[in-house]
Structure 1
Amino acid sequence: MPREIQKAYKNQTRSVDGKPGKKYWQNSVDYKINVKVFPETRIVEGSEIVNFINNSPDELSEIVIRLYYDVFKKGNKRDSRVNPKDIGEGVELKTIIVDGVNYDLANSDKIKRYGTNLTIRLREPLKSGQDLKIEFEWQQKVTLTLDRTGAKDDTSFFVGYWYPQVSVYDDIFGWDRLDYTLDTEFYNNLSNFDVNITVPDNFLVWATGTLENGEKVLPNNIYKKFLKAKESKEVIEVVNEKDLEGLKLKHNTWNFTAKEVTDFAFAMSDHYLWHAASVNVAGKDVLINSAFPKGKAEKHKKLTSIQQKVMKHFSEDVPGIPYPYPVFSTFIGLRYSGSGMEFPMMANNGGSGVPVTVHELFHMYFPMYVRINERRFAWMDEGWADFMENLVIHKFFNEDKSNSFYSRFKLVTQGTLGTIGDLPTVTSSQYTGDSYGYQAYSLPSLTYALLYQYLGEEKFFKCFNSYVKRWAKKSPTPYDFFNTFENVSGEDLSFFWEPWYFEMGYPDVGIKSFEEGKLIVEKVGYKPIPISIDVVYKNSKKSYSKIIDLSVWKNDNRTYAIPVPNHDQVESIVLNSDFPDFNETDNFFPPLKDSYEEKGVKSSIVGNYYVEDYNIELSIAKENEALVIYSNSWVWLNTILIPKDSVNFNTSDKTGVLKYLEDVSGRDEIELEYPKYNLKLKGIKK
């Protein structure tokens, strides 16, 4: 157990049962901000008054301020390439006033600026229980580089990371001084915001929080529709294409307030449409907003309804925790339809599809409502969002329940399992580098799915909901998560935590033998994994499938016997098509090489295929007597091909199908399709 966690238990800020300790504390911040945005120059000009309350037991001799836009400052570290037009002086600070004293920005004894942090040395230490007033005036630009936030076109901006922000000082790490380098995300204080946003009088604004002066800003006809939407279950076109013609606001300063949130973002445009409706959550109406470019109404007309349905399921079914805020808005501003970025009460998405909508809306629970330190533990929020996205879609949006819920988790982890990049889950997000996507999304979502399978849905959500309620508006560590699940479930889960979260290794099971109706499964790898079996019978359309709980490996068992019904009629058995497995070639009865020979699979299928639409290369190779398809560009695409006949194959996770087309116009081709994910790849042999 890390020293920081031991210290927290000793100081009683955390407790070993997973609850916040008797002496748990966290600081709070109030922001009052006035900001002007000039679209023609992309300049953001602001002033703010910050009230910081020191709830810690410590005297603070300095205050750390985050200036995210300094990532674009000349010479500063960045994890990815940026638009040269963004590189400059970063945030242009004009004034800093602390408790009425004007600080000289050039005085390096009082002001230190490094990376994306600015440290203010206080004249006198801020004692426990005292508050501090800090005033800023600053200027920066809306970035051209970032997709998650920044300029979407000449007059459509999604503005995030835009104001001087007090860093977190907590009981584990003290001041959070980690740089923002465009990769890892955020960890913020619980704050209150009162924000005035001034834009040209033909621009609409959507933002974190509640619009307080709609009547003063919006033209009468639009304001009436806005009021109607706040009470309507039917979607209201608050601003349609006709409303945009000659749009002129009554007033061009919008006021939004938000209480007990972790950040503030806003979006603006002079040519976006606005649809809205409400959904009742725990007796209160929540306003749902959708904003998207004009001319795209047909494409995005279902977005508001999808948000309503998702919020209802989150609040009442899975996980069954009422949405905690009064508003949620989706702004369609990203380039890629499946991508999105979350802020309190807002998402900036690339499309209106169900997966991205579910994923980004769940982020209102993690990391917003439960204040996850994403800078160090991205897996504690992205992993949950990925898991919940798949569970909600499987339960409430997928009419075809024949597909395994677990197969998707195999799909996205199989290619990285057992590689050097397959680091223990608890590895700090600061150090995962090229493996960030796998470590933050794919691997943890798999582990949550395995925990869900082991505990069963009822006990799993009893644990999860207790975890959320204990840590709502607070900041848990990984140990608070582990201990809460053990405390609420009443089980010692160390047999699961240790291999899956703290150790290197991989899951691997294989067929040791199949004799007299007994399938003997051997645990070859270190990490415990459930056993799924799929049996096909001779001369029959009947099949037999079963999932055996991973608890069979609890006591260091190395083999497990599974009775197979009607064993004398068995044609084939496939092991763990639902779950990742390091070496899949020993998961088949009879062996795959026999199936290839029986089906007449041609060796000419082996080779490299170029997929022009995605500019990637697919490779089919023979490994351990099995055909494997993989891509160096798409690491997740690594799967064994199971023959249906000489030219048609299923992927081992049952989500994809491949067809081999020999000698088409002088070259061989393959067609790889994942119907569940609406993905089709056509490759031409090189």
Structure 2
Amino acid sequence: MNKKLAKILGSLGLLAALTSPLAAQDAPKGYDYQEAFGPLFYTQNGNEYRSASGYPGPKYWQNRADYQIKAELNESRNQVTASMTITYKNNSPDKLPYLWLQLDQNLFADSSRGNAIIPPKSRYGAQGERFNGGYKITNLSVQRRGKSLKFDRIIEDTRMQIRLDEPMQAAGDVVTIKMDYTFVIPKEGSDRLSHVTTKNGEVYAVAQWFPRMSVYDDVLGWNTLPYWGAGEFYTEFGDINFEITAPASHIVMGSGELLNPKEVLTPQQLKRWEEAKQSEKTVHVRSEADLTDPASRPSKDKLTWKFRITNARDAAWASSKAFVLDAARINLPSGATSLAVSAHPVESNGQDAYGRGVEYVKASIEHYSKMWFEYPYPMAVNIGAAIGGMEYPGIVFCSWKAKGQSVWGVIDHEFGHTWFPMIVGSNERKYGWMDEGFNTFINGLSSDAFNNGEYKERPMNMHMIGSRIIGNPNGDKMMLIPDGMAERNIGMNLYFKPGIGLKLLRDHILGPDRFDYAFRQYIKHWAYKHPTPFDFFRSMDNAAGEELSWFWRGWFIENWKMDQAVTDVAVVKENGAVKRVDITVTNLDKLPMPIILEVKTKSGKTERIKVAADVWMRNTKWTIRHPISEDVVSVVLDPAKVLPDANEENNTWTAR
């Protein structure tokens, strides 16, 4: 277990579980191949909306929400005041008599349901802070083609329902929703937004900062799970144009493209900004030395920064007079370019921290773009802030106190989220593993590739993981919603287990070629759309050409353990000469996996034997007949410890 992974899991309480007596308990034993390989895994046929191949069907639809926002930051009150227009299009085949919006800031109101159930020391609360949080919404109106519509509204915790007197029509009707609102930025907001005092000023990282349309889909209709803190987000795609008015002393960075750099940067900064767009190396747009120079910001009271991000599911921004600003060019496979940006306080500067931020952003984006799908946004902005790590389209918030390898780890992880869930728009609030776990998996490949292996991950001892973590009956199942899990289990179920599951699938079940092709096809077909877990399972089965329901069932749906054992070894001779060895392997626990054997003979020669997991389709034990010409000294199951075998004590046979 490498340091980066240990830190992630440790922060989420998983490392404590490794040494807990509870974690050592065994799951119910006994392999049943009829259960593991039962054919009734996909219980619904494909349809015209979601095909049997796991891809969107010919009549797949999703609604659209475009936003125009003008907001102002009041630094003395830590308050955002805004006016917003939402253009909402109903592409569904259904009439909509009411609309639902997400009001995530209401988590921080004293009366919120989330505040009532989040433990005092949870990372998902306001850390015990008490203030007048939540949205204050005024001047709400709804129009269709310029005509005002009558409606009623209710606000229920982190959700608002607009009950229309006249329903939205199906297949293309559009309404415009307008409102004004204010809210106070929490000091520690569910580890996703914050403000913190640095020696040169307050750093604001602002997210969940505007009411957003809930998703209406063909799976559940309106997705109205409240925001309780642990579950993240599920939002519609659209174009977001936003303006942030802040003190002129501030640097503001946001999702998408900065539209008016000439209006908000000094002439010298603008020159460096343009240089950075052509530079492979980091350009200091606003250096550490500039922070104490009054001329490094325009001599005005306020400035308005304008941003646009297209075909995105969210947007966020950060503002501070304490920001150092670095940038460099990102090269994309198509020949297009983007801009890597890092904005952070001087406390985070230096080559052991965010002084390498732009280098890390650039390497991360270029790797994922080449490996999986091209990065879609004009900028990739890293913000050093008082947040452990949080992702939004085109911008991420990372801990301003991170050092060394942890800086690479958090930047690479948060930008990996560009692909899951910013491009592949899964429902994080229900299936957090579809973004965190998939991202954890691709992070491992990215770390191995960075700078000739500077942060290459060490091989994991999967036997230890199999014995202490996988199948722990106190560990919750992966398919629970994040808010329905014990917080100590979130690291395991959302990050670690799905991440290593995909690694097992790539390295030992499908192989890199088939896995990578199928995974790329999944990303390509579901880019800017909303897949479910079973869409993912089907898409991998189809593109890889493999019936993997045994794997999806045991690893993702159930919480099964693996335990293979060498139960017999017989050397077969003819006329006194050794001809073969018969090795019997028994599957003792519920989870099937391939068989990997190492056979060592008298002369010291070793051979590896691999048998696909298919052998367990109708057997609880299997004898492998392997030709040899000399006596066998030892037989070892999974000698490299790459499979999650829960009991390695029965993995070895040694000749007497």
Superposition TM-score, scaled by structure 1 size: 0.77
Instruction: Tell me, in whole angstroms, the C-alpha distance in 1 between the residues paired with 2:97 and 2:642.
Output: 55
The question of whether the paired residues in 2 share the 8 Å contact of 1:384 and 1:445 is answered with yes
Hey, what does 1:202 align to over in structure 2?
249
* Residue of 342, 349, 352 corresponding to 1:290: 342
Does the CA contact (< 8 Å) of 2:565 and 2:637 recur in 1? no
Residues in 2 aligned to 1:535 and 1:301: alpha-carbon distance in whole angstroms:
50
**Whole-angstrom distance in 2 between the partners of 1:588 and 1:258:** 57
Aligned to 2:27: none
Match of 1:270 among 310, 321, 325: 321
Alignment-derived partner of residue 86 in structure 2: 50
Counterpart of 2:166 (choices 124, 131, 138) is 124
Query: Which residue of 257, 281, 289 maps to 1:242?
Result: 289
Between 1:248-257 and 1:392-401, the stretch displaced more is 392-401
1:44 CA drift (Å):
0.9
**Aligned-partner residue type, residue 350 of structure 2:** A
- Note the residue ranges of structure 2 that are not aligned, 5 or more in a row: 1-37, 121-125, 572-580
Question: Could you tell me which residue of structure 1 aligns to residue 181 of structure 2?
Answer: 138
Match of 1:438 in 2: 492
Distance in 2 (CA, whole Å) between partners of 1:254 and 1:589 is 69
Amino acid at match of 2:395: M
Q: Tell me if 1:19 matches 2:73.
A: no
Q: Does 1:507 align with 2:562?
A: yes
Alpha carbons 1:80, 1:182 under 8 Å: kept: no
Look up the equivalent residue of 2:316 and give its one-letter code.
A
Deviations 1:27-75 (A, max 9, x none): 1111110111122221111111111111111111111111111112223
Q: SS state of the match for residue 110, structure 1?
A: strand
After superposition, residues 100-179 of structure 1 pair within 5 angstroms as: 110-128=152-170, 129-146=172-189, 147-153=191-197, 155-179=202-226
Alignment of 1:94-105 (within 5 A): 94-99=138-143
In structure 2, C-alpha distance between the alignment counterparts of 1:402 and 1:369, rounded to whole Å:
26
Does 1 or 2 have the higher relative contact order (CA < 8 Å, sep 6+)? Answer: 2
2:530 pairs with 469, 475, 492, which one? 475
Deviations 1:182-226 (A, max 9, x none): 111111100211100011111111110100000011000001100
Shift of the 534–490 alpha-carbon distance from structure 1 to 2, 3 Å rule, reads: closer
Question: How far apart are 1:253 and its partner, in Å?
Answer: 0.7
1:513-528 paired onto structure 2 within 5 Å:
513-516=568-571, 519-528=583-592
More moved, 420-429 vs 26-35:
420-429
Report the AA paired with residue 38 of structure 1: N
Question: For residue 340 of structure 1, what is the aligned residue in structure 2?
Answer: 389
CA–CA distance in structure 2, aligned partners of residues 357 and 277 of structure 1: 15
**Which amino acid is the alignment partner of residue 345 of structure 2?**
P
How far is 1:357 from its partner?
2.6
Gaps of 5+ in 1: 595-686
Conserved 8 A contact 2:106-2:157: yes
Q: How many residues align?
A: 577
Is the contact between residue 511 and residue 575 of structure 1 (CA under 8 Å) also seen in structure 2? no
Once the two structures are overlaid, the 10-residue window that deviates more, 476-485 or 515-524, is 515-524
Q: Pick one of 502, 505, 514 that aligns with 1:451.
A: 505
Contact 2:272 2:283 (C-alpha < 8 Å) held by counterparts? yes
CA distance in 1, matches of 2:368, 2:133: 43
User: Mean Cα displacement is larger for which, 119-128 or 481-490?
Assistant: 481-490
Q: Which residue of 2 aligns with 1:279?
A: 330
Give the C-alpha shift of residue 431 in structure 1.
Answer: 3.1
Query: Match of 2:540?
Result: 485
Aligned residues of 1:552 and 1:560 also touching (Cα < 8 A): no
Which whole-Å CA distance do the structure 1 matches of 2:76 and 2:455 have between them? 51
Separation in 2, partners of 1:397, 1:92: 48
Q: How much does 1:21 deviate?
A: 1.3
Equivalent position amino acid for 2:313 in 1: T
Q: How does 1:31-430 map to 2 (within 5 A)?
A: 31-78=67-114, 79-81=118-120, 82-88=126-132, 90-99=134-143, 110-128=152-170, 129-146=172-189, 147-153=191-197, 155-245=202-292, 246=294, 247-249=296-298, 252-281=303-332, 282-295=334-347, 296-299=349-352, 300-316=354-370, 318-319=371-372, 321-334=373-386, 339-350=388-399, 351=402, 353-396=407-450, 399=453, 405=459, 407=460, 414-430=467-483
The alpha-carbon distance between structure 1 residues 412 and 94, as it changes in their structure 2 partners (threshold 3 A), is farther
8 Å Cα contact 1:148-1:334 kept in structure 2: no
**Structure 1, 13-22 or 307-316: larger mean CA deviation:** 307-316
2: CA distance between counterparts of 1:557 and 1:242? 69
- CA–CA distance in 2 between the matches of 1:233 and 1:206? 21
Q: Is the 8 A contact 1:454 1:551 kept in 2?
A: no
Preserved CA contact (<8 Å) 1:279 1:286: yes
| In 2, Cα distance between equivalents of 1:411 and 1:253 | 54
Say if 1:223 and 1:363 are closer, same or farther in 2 by CA, change over 3 A: same
Amino acid corresponding to residue 248 of structure 1 in structure 2: R
Deviates more, 1:115-124 or 1:70-79: 70-79
Contact 2:71 2:83 (C-alpha < 8 Å) held by counterparts: yes
Residues of 2 paired with 1:212 and 1:412: CA distance?
Answer: 49
Q: 2-side partners of 1:266 and 1:90: how far apart? A: 18
Instruction: State, as a whole percentage, how many aligned pairs show the same letter.
Output: 28
Aligned-partner Cα distance in 2 for 1:135–1:499: 48
* Separation in structure 2 between the aligned mates of residue 25 and residue 304 of structure 1, nearest angstrom: 38
Contact 1:537 1:543 in 2 (8 A): yes
Assess, with a 3 A threshold, how the Cα gap between structure 1 residues 117 and 21 changes in structure 2: closer, same or farther: same
Shift of 1:547: 5.8
